[in-house]
Structure 1
Amino acid sequence: MRVQRRHMLAAGVAVAATAALAVGTGLGFADTAPTGQSVCSGSVTFSAEGGAPAATSDRFPVGTRLRVTNLDNGRATTVTVTGPSGSCVLLNVAAMDQIREPGRNVVRRNVVERLDGGAAQQPAPAPPGAGEVRPGAASPGATGPAPRSACTGSVTFFADGGAPTATSDRFPAGTRLRVTNLDNGRATTVTVTGPSGSCVLLNTAAMDQIREPGKNVVRRNTVEVLR
């Protein structure tokens, strides 16, 4: 009788595990664990783009397929790169909704896998002096050509509080940057506090200083190095 009960208990556990796996997969959980080292470093965030799950990137060509896994909840999304951005991988709204925790706009613990082979191309470092403010250089709101930007692509943000700051995959902690939204002339001056997967990733306070109402991304921008 004890042997029979043990078999029944084991069978019940197996059924429950199978059901949990099926539910998890249906909700977008990864059906397999990440298989290798992440091809991107730092946090993953998103732009305000609509449509089917997709991503933009400063490291992968258009058409590249990526799988992004949130290690905090096991959920994953498979996306195709549709264009350039200022991040290693910048998800659109639909892709971010598949993997994020409720109320969070950034995925800190993640793995990004390239599904079609090949390695990521490291972004070219900013040329010496690129973006530095020199005497006579144009400032936000001034007429004349804007300084050459030290970053390319869109600027977005992560949901961190506190005073205006930024993270970066290109500038060391302590670097001071001025980010200008060319659509409205608004600018914010921030200090880099650590690494991320973007050339410049603003926190909430910094983004609020420059963004248009209801927009989570600044497409036309200039990033200047103030050191």
Structure 2
Amino acid sequence: MGLQRRYLLAAGVAVAAAAAMAVSTGLGFADSATTAPSVCPGSITFSAEAGTPAATSDRFPVGTRLRVTNLDNDRSAEVTVVGPSGSCVLLNSAAMELVREPGKNVIRRNVVEQLGEAAAPPGVAQPGGGQPDEVGDRPGSASPPASRPATGSACQGAITFFEEAATPGATSDRFPVGTRLRVTNLDNDRTTTVTVTGPSGSCVLLNAAAMEQIREPGKNLVRNNTVEVLR
């Protein structure tokens, strides 16, 4: 009889534990939901450009609709790609405000979903098109004409930065940690040499210190650039 009681007691404990797990999962204590795969790997940052919520991209054509979700606060923004950049998705200021947490300029845990494509809005340049009415680095400005082509660059598209208090550095979705890169702003011939310190959603994403070494005053993007791999 003592042995039978012990078996019955053990079975009762197992049933109770299973019931508790089921209840906790139903209440959201256990994470059973699956997350859709993201079409853009790595962190997301923004270009500091004004305007309604929008994005630029080196992967999706103008007119593509994307949904960007911050997994740390479950806030989402639906944006349209309006031009090229050096990132899979680079939000503008208005879009970033919709999804970021206070004081944070990078969204490390995120999901980007492609919602579909649409016709390019009038006056918006296609990536690489070089039309004179392409959106510039400041509201109402146009991108300056290239002083010389960025031939042989290891990264294509505009370069931006993320806020980080550190010595000049960069992150990348293409080059491994430790890779040394030379980034040159062809509009002012200023150069910075940086080491890749981690992953991001861009071919090269400078930190604030590196950006200060090459950008022109008031501009948060370096559109006319070349990136060399020094290794």
**TM superposition score normalised by structure 2:** 0.68
Q: Aligned Cα RMSD in Å?
A: 2.1
Deviation at 1:106, TM superposition (A): 1.4
Which residue of 163, 169, 194 maps to 2:173? 169
Q: Tell me which residue corresponds to 2:54.
A: 54
Q: Tell me which residue corresponds to 1:195.
A: 199
Task: Give the letter aligned to residue 66 of structure 2.
Answer: L
Q: Percent identity?
A: 76
Query: In the aligned structure 2, how far is the partner of 1:84 from the partner of 1:34?
Result: 31
Q: Is the 8 A contact 1:153 1:219 kept in 2?
A: yes
Which residue of 209, 215, 219 maps to 2:213? 209
> What aligned pairs does 1:6-21 form with structure 2 within 5 A after superposition?
none
Q: Is the 8 A contact 2:77 2:99 kept in 1?
A: yes
Query: In the aligned structure 2, how far is the partner of 1:145 from the partner of 1:169?
Result: 24
Deviation at 1:214, TM superposition (A): 2.5
Deviation at 1:48, TM superposition (A): 2.8
**SS of aligned partner of 1:97:** helix
Q: Is the 8 A contact 2:43 2:107 kept in 1?
A: yes
Q: Tell me which residue corresponds to 2:104.
A: 104
Distance 1:36 1:209, change over 3 A: same
Deviations 1:160-201 (A, max 9, x none): 221111111111111110111112211110011121100000
Distance 1:75 1:150, change over 3 A: same
Moved over 4 A (4+): 143-147
For structure 1, the 5+ residue unaligned runs are 1-32, 118-142
Query: In the aligned structure 2, how far is the partner of 1:109 from the partner of 1:51?
Result: 25
Query: In the aligned structure 2, how far is the partner of 1:66 from the partner of 1:145?
Result: 30
**SS of aligned partner of 1:44:** coil
Query: In the aligned structure 2, how far is the partner of 1:145 from the partner of 1:182?
Result: 8
Distance 1:74 1:188, change over 3 A: same
**Over alpha carbons, which structure has the higher Rg?**
2
Query: In the aligned structure 1, how far is the partner of 2:173 from the partner of 2:74?
Result: 25
For structure 2, the 5+ residue unaligned runs are 1-32, 118-146
**TM superposition score normalised by structure 1:** 0.69
Deviation at 1:206, TM superposition (A): 0.7
Query: In the aligned structure 2, how far is the partner of 1:46 from the partner of 1:91?
Result: 4
**SS of aligned partner of 1:206:** helix
Q: Tell me which residue corresponds to 1:45.
A: 45
Q: Is the 8 A contact 1:147 1:224 kept in 2?
A: no
